[in-house]
Homo-oligomer: A and B are copies of this chain.
Amino acid sequence: MTIATERHALPEPEFVAGFHVIGEERYHHQHPFHTMMHEGKLTRGQLQAWALNRYYYQSHIPMKDAAILARSDDPGFRMAWRKRIVDHDGDAGNPGGIAKWLKLVEATGLPRMQAVRGEGILPATRFAVDAYIHFVSSHTHLEAVASSLTELFSKQLISLRLDRLKQHYPWLASGLDYFSGRLTQATEDSDFALNWVVKHARTRDEQDLAYAALRAKCDILWAQLDALYYAYVNPGWPPPGAFRPSDL
């Protein structure tokens, strides 16, 4: 006798709600490093370390998106998705997200070339970001797209961050263009990605893979902040060869 354990696909509203449950638990909006940032408790050196390390992430986003583009045989998908590469790399006369992040690096007081060269970034940053690119290249197209759904939660975090950075670290003012740009971009991107994932995750197994992909992406973001906290807040031990702020 065979017992059928058929699992039906979740209805759309329930499926979508599941992403928000994952975000509430695992998105890095509640990471202690961000809490300190938003309460004005980070030193200049800690903000330098954050901007420097996060640049490695920012600068690899278009490579991640190109890897996703390269997997799609649908011109419509590619047309929608290529916008992300333009947003980050910019086009004639319009600086993209990467150039704007370099302004943030400079506003913290670090030379832009240090970020461009990746001098002193934490190995853990490199491992996590490279894992992201490897993930979207080696998993299914559906999982690759679903891993981008942290954008569902980023608008709220960026909006809060923009307020708090202005309030607590006025000397950063010249470096905040990145965040104002992302406020509209992230919403457009997550609307498209969510609709696409809802349409393409047809079975319950596929829906579970999409959830797992979002969890994996949250792990990638969270691990970067764990490493920053360990190296620059508490206990405050940068690994051999890593950036050491003058105020550490």
Judged by a CB distance under 8 angstroms, whether A13 is at the interface is no
In contact, A32 and B237 (Cβ under 8 angstroms): yes
Judged by a CB distance under 8 angstroms, whether A134 is at the interface is yes
Can you add 15 more A-B contacts, CB < 8 Å, to A124-B226, A226-B227? A25-B240, A122-B223, A123-B128, A123-B220, A123-B222, A124-B124, A124-B223, A124-B227, A127-B220, A127-B223, A131-B131, A218-B240, A219-B241, A222-B240, A230-B230
Chain A interface residue count: which class?
Answer: 20 to 34
Contacts of A215 in B (CB 8 A): 241
Q: How many copies does the complex hold?
A: 2
Cα distance, A32 to B241, chains bound together (Å): 16
Judged by a CB distance under 8 angstroms, whether A235 is at the interface is yes
Cα distance, A231 to B32, chains bound together (Å): 13
Judged by a CB distance under 8 angstroms, whether A239 is at the interface is yes
Cα distance, A134 to B218, chains bound together (Å): 21
How far does the Cβ of A6 sit from chain B's closest Cβ, in whole Å? 25
Q: Among B127, B220, B231, B234, which residue has its beta carbon within 8 angstroms of that of A235?
A: B234
